[in-house]
Amino acid sequence: MAMNRRFTGKKKAGSPAALFLHGPCGVGKSTLGRAISRRYGYWHVDAAPFKRMFSLQRSAIRTEIGEKLACAYAKELIARHFCVVIEDINRSDASILRSVMKNIGYKIGDVSLVAPVEQCIKNDKKRGVHGYGEKVIREIYSKYLSKEGYVIDVSNKTRLDVLNEVERHFKRVLVK
């Protein structure tokens, strides 16, 4: 996980792999990222802890710095050929990471999680002090509603259902 020093991701034999997670706040990207990280030993790169490390107050500068820190962290893991699951990275930085990955033979997958805005708001409330709040979720929902790669509607699925669906679809990317 991005900020968990007890976790030690592993290098994999053969081609390293990366899975990018896309979707709006509250859709379950972090939950899925942590599950993949635990099950497969991938490093989990999430910009949210870097943003909170910079400041607890939301702002454009906090977002920019947090995303740049997460991207730098991901680059270091990639340079060392670690398998990674990446979320909350802007498209420009993700494009740079993909280019580096392709040049060194990474297997790459993309998953977009989608759900109605009301479900994202409900999930966000469970975050407590780290939640974004209904107003923010509504404002940014459509900006982050992505249909990149394999799209999973998580509306009526459990966490395990989503993880199992990702595993079935990305057998070539997810390596233990």
User: Which H or E element spans position 94?
Assistant: helix 91-103
Alpha-carbon distance of 113 to 12, in angstroms, equals 26
Q: Residue 176: which pLDDT band, with cuts at 50, 70 and 90? A: low
Write the burial class of residue 19 (CB in 10 Å: 0-12 exposed, 13-18 middle, 19+ buried).
buried
Question: What is the Cβ-side half-sphere exposure of residue 62, based on CA atoms within 13 angstroms?
Answer: 12
Alpha-carbon distance of 137 to 129, in angstroms, equals 15
CATH superfamily membership of 17-169: P-loop containing nucleotide triphosphate hydrolases (3.40.50.300)
Q: Residue 9: which pLDDT band, with cuts at 50, 70 and 90? A: low
Residue 4 has pLDDT above 60, yes or no: no
Which pLDDT tens digit goes with each residue over 108-145?
999 999 999 999 999 999 987 778 889 988 988 888 88
Question: Domains of the chain: which residue ranges?
Answer: 17-169
Q: What pTM value is reported for the model?
A: 0.87
